[in-house]
Structure 1
Amino acid sequence: MEHGKVELYHGSGQIVEFPEIRKTKYTKDFSWGFYCTKSYEQAYRWAGRKHGQGIVNVYSYVENEKLNIKKFENMCDEWLDFIAECRIGKVHEFDIVEGPMADDTIWNFVNDFLNHNISRSVFWEYAKFKHPTHQISFHSIRALECLEYERSESVNDDTME
């Protein structure tokens, strides 16, 4: 059964017609990968915050059930442990990981938890009033093949020369 197409967004400083997985100095929530979100606002913020001239890249995504996909429906202990492991550089076998994306405030709590400054129960006490946004990360060439580039939109049109 073919799933419907979902529109995904990637905030960047450039047009990304051909997404790729880059190994960087710092690992992200779900390790190295190409990150997108279902939230246009989130991608808009990513693009605008990190770059003077931001671009929101738009893709259509069709899930391939043959891939190894991990989905976290919400923030839970398994999600927290998974992020903790990715953050210290452990790699995983998933093609695609989908789940909540913590905002900067929750990140401070995650870091406090990772540094053993707060306990797990205190983390959940702090985090329970926060509403994370969505992220989906692609970790293999086969995963990237599920994405089809549609278009790019400039974030700060008013500042363009």
Structure 2
Amino acid sequence: MSFFEKTISKETIFNGKIIDLNVHTVELPNGKTSKREIINHAGGVAIIAYKDSETLFMVEQFRKPIEGVLLEIPAGKIEKNEDVLECAKRELEEEIGYRAKELKYLGRIVTSPGFCDEYIFIYKAEELYKGRDDLGDEDEFINVKEIKIDRVKEMIKEGKIIDAKTICALMMI
């Protein structure tokens, strides 16, 4: 049995700066129809940034959708027509103020495939050297933290780090 759902029609509900929202009418494998609300997102990158072999750079920032502060690996949105590797380089420097001599692609994840088409591409950054001093975008406020890898893993188990891309990325190393 095929699980594929054929799109019969698509209605655009919202076009925004970061996301678009569409409602798809789909034909189900059993021949019936249903609606799917789908968020389209350009995708993002996330970087496991090593200060040294035992320490990671992490970022702490307020996330409005959950009304709370999260501790995460550096990450950001892919701009329109931006190369994924170039995005990783840019976001690494914007978020923690460092560049990497070695930036290795580890894989990708889907964030919420039940309603969103976003992929996050995971990189590992090593041999870091100082870049810019002005962190974040004009509407982004970030605290950079240096945390031992073992402590990061403990914080995940303790529920102190709940960011999915961070947890997934650490499974890739």
Q: Same fold (TM over 0.5)?
A: no
> TM-score category by the smaller chain?
under 0.3
* TM score, norm. by length of structure 2: 0.26
**Is the strand fraction higher in 1 or 2?**
2
**Is the helix fraction higher in 1 or 2?**
1
* TM score, norm. by length of structure 1: 0.28
